[in-house]
Chains A and B, each alone.
Chain A
Amino acid sequence: DTEVTQTPKHLVMGMTNKKSLKCEQHMGHRAMYWYKQKAKKPPELMFVYSYEKLSINESVPSRFSPECPNSSLLNLHLHALQPEDSALYLCASSRAAYNEQFFGPGTRLTVL
């Protein structure tokens, strides 16, 4: 199994809603990542988890809250988002520092 799965595929939410994005991998990778990709732009790193501990937060606003409940799962909890947060949110995983990152298909988020 060399797949990173993300759910939901699409999400529309209001600015007062609370929602969560989910990412799962069963490749035994110990590093997991969240990226944000705006239209016609490259992915931008948001968070890095290594061995289930948060190792990088790229100055992301607190309305985005990551969680890594176990080595296979990565969540991104969303609360009080703004319309400018609308984007494709990509999850990725890698075995370690020097290995390939595998990306999921992303969740396309629209904030109304």
Chain B
Amino acid sequence: TQLLEQSPQFLSIQEGENLTVYCNSSSVFSSLQWYRQEPGEGPVLLVTVVTGGEVKKLKRLTFQFGDARKDSSLHITAAQPGDTGLYLCAGVSPLQGAQKLVFGQGTRLTINP
């Protein structure tokens, strides 16, 4: 069974601080995705990382994929209250014509003004 361990599960910090969320697995995935989910809505994809060692930036968010493609991190610089939400990492395994996502437990992030 492929499992993703995400940490921390809860994080509450002040506006302007930096933070890092980690996603670790004992399995290798073909790619790894990060989602953000608002209450009462479905997850929305932020980024997909595919290549070991890859780094992607999305404004103040920086995503890294480990060299062995088993772990990933999300770093937010100068967090804003609008960053508040549930962040989910998901390992991707391709199937025939589809894909299987295995989600981490999620990090519930609160940015206080």
Contact = CB atoms under 8 A, between A and B. Distances in A.
Interface in B30-52: 30-31, 33, 40-45, 48
Select the residue from A33, A42, A44, A108 with max chain B CB neighbours within 10 A: A42
Contact of B99 (A4, A97, A102): A97
Contacts of A99: 99
Contacts of B99: 31, 94, 97-99, 101
A31 B96 CA distance: 10
Contacts, number: 74
Counting chain B residues whose Cβ lies within 8 A of the other chain, the interface size class is: 20 to 34
13 contacts: A30-B97, A31-B97, A42-B104, A43-B88, A55-B97, A56-B98, A56-B100, A97-B99, A98-B31, A98-B99, A101-B45, A104-B42, A105-B42
